[in-house]
């Protein structure tokens, strides 16, 4: 049995290495600084050194306002500045509530994120969603100014189509080092829409959001019966729960994705590490894919 689950660190551009599991701060809102700090310290201690946030985080999960997740993380870093050197810090911008997208605004958005986080530089700055009304050449100019000013070390895109990524890369050759798509056993689009192929072609790191399909992978009623059966069988064989198999599935693709976790439950975050010990071979992974599709591959 050849295990496809890649437990090793991933390169993020030329300057950083990150664990196969990362931490997303979508839910890191509306709590005391001590509680937020406990979660950041916990994930860093477990090798989840990519900390991914966004300026728009704070409008969901009981957050108080746009930017409040970054502000809370900033308070954590102010209280424990040594944590900054332990993490690869990523944020995203470009969503403007009511607009909804404005890539021409990215320079101001990044400046605002730096202020809220209380840092001078982001290791990775990502365009959260594509702005179809800004020419990619203009977007590239804005991003290049951010890098030239030392405020951003590297760039990525999130929720982009492959053609949108290609258009931006034409004006920023070699500078787009990551993509952040949705991918899970219940959402297979990157397998078929070219996202994974493109990321492998250009050696871009894949940062997967919602690797557990927003918790649905732990709920048999939210999955096709065939997928539930396959995941449960594999979970029993490996001595883990179904969500852990779901994480291992994400880590088994040769694009070497990083699975971004967003749980606030420290026990679940610890349990997620079991995915790195799961053994899945080609037959296992293809069984998951076909069960999710509801049909056999040709």
Domains detected in the chain = 10-293 (3.20.20.100)
Average pLDDT, stretch 28-45?
Answer: 97
Q: What is the pLDDT of residues 255-265, one digit of tens each?
A: 999 999 999 99
Say if residue 15's pLDDT is above 90.
Answer: no
Q: Rounded to 10 degrees, what is the CA torsion of 25, 164, 252, 282?
A: 150
Mind spelling out the 3-state secondary structure of 134-152? CCHHHHHHHHHHHHHCCCE
If pLDDT is split at 50, 70 and 90, which confidence band does 242 have?
A: very high
pLDDT at 96: 94
Active-site option among 23, 57, 105, 125: 57
Distances (CA, A) of 279 to 4, 195, 239, 240, 289: 7, 25, 11, 11, 16
Distances (CA, A) of 291 to 5, 166, 232: 19, 32, 12
How far, in whole angstroms, is CA 109 from its chain's centroid? Answer: 19
pLDDT at 59: 84
The rounded distance, in Å, linking the Cα atoms of 103 and 167 is 14
Six-digit token pair at 234?
A: 């594999």
If pLDDT is split at 50, 70 and 90, which confidence band does 20 have?
A: very high
Six-digit token pair at 201?
A: 């072609």
Say if residue 286's pLDDT is above 80.
Answer: yes
Q: What is the pLDDT of residues 141-179, one digit of tens each?
A: 999 999 999 999 999 999 999 999 999 999 999 999 999
The rounded distance, in Å, linking the Cα atoms of 70 and 109 is 12
Helix, strand and coil in the chain, % to nearest 5: 45, 15, 40
On whether the pTM is more than 0.85, the answer is yes
Q: What is the pLDDT of residues 80-132, one digit of tens each?
A: 999 999 999 999 999 999 999 999 999 999 999 999 999 999 999 999 999 99
- Determine the 3-state secondary structure of 179 from DSSP: strand
Instruction: Name which residue leads in pLDDT, 168 or 59.
Output: 168
DSSP 184: B
Burial of 176 (0-12, 13-18, 19+ CB in 10 A): buried
Say if residue 61's pLDDT is above 90.
Answer: no
Q: What is the pLDDT of residues 177-236, one digit of tens each?
A: 999 999 999 999 999 999 999 999 999 999 999 999 999 998 999 999 999 999 999 999
57 is catalytic: yes
Q: Rounded to 10 degrees, what is the CA torsion of 122, 126, 131, 132?
A: 140
Say if residue 2's pLDDT is above 90.
Answer: yes
- What average pLDDT does the chain have? 96
pLDDT at 114: 98
For strand 16-18 and strand 10-12, is the pairing parallel, antiparallel, or unpaired? antiparallel
pLDDT at 89: 98
Residue in 13, 254, 293 with CA at minimum distance from that of residue 152: 13
């Amino acid at each position: 049995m050849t295990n496809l689950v890649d437990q090793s660190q991933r390169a993020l551009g030329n300057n950083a290495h990150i664990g196969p599991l990362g931490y997303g701060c979508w839910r890191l809102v509306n709590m005391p600084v001590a509680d937020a700090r406990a979660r950041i310290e916990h994930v860093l201690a477990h090798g989840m050194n990519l900390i991914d946030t966004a300026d728009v985080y704070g409008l969901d999960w009981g957050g108080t306002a746009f930017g409040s997740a970054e502000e809370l993380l900033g308070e954590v870093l102010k209280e424990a500045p040594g944590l900054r050197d332990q993490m690869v810090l990523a944020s995203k911008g470009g969503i403007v509530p009511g607009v909804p997208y404005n890539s021409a605004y990215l320079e101001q958005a990044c400046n605002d994120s730096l202020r809220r986080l209380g840092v001078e530089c982001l290791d990775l700055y990502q365009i959260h969603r594509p702005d179809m009304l800004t020419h990619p050449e203009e977007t590239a100019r804005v991003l290049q100014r951010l890098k030239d000013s030392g405020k951003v070390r590297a760039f990525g895109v999130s929720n982009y189509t492959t053609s949108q990524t290609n258009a931006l890369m034409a004006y920023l050759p070699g500078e787009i080092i990551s993509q952040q798509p949705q991918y899970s056993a219940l959402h297979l689009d990157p397998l078929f829409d070219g996202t994974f192929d493109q990321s492998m072609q250009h050696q871009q790191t894949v940062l997967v959001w919602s690797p557990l399909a927003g918790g649905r992978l732990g709920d048999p009623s939210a999955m096709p019966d065939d997928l539930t059966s396959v995941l449960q069988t594999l979970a029993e064989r490996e001595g883990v729960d179904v969500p852990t198999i779901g994480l291992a599935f994400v880590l088994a693709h040769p694009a070497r994705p990083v699975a971004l976790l967003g749980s606030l439950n420290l026990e679940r975050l610890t349990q997620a590490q079991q995915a790195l010990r799961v053994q899945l071979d080609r037959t296992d992974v293809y069984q998951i894919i076909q069960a999710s599709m509801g049909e056999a591959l040709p």
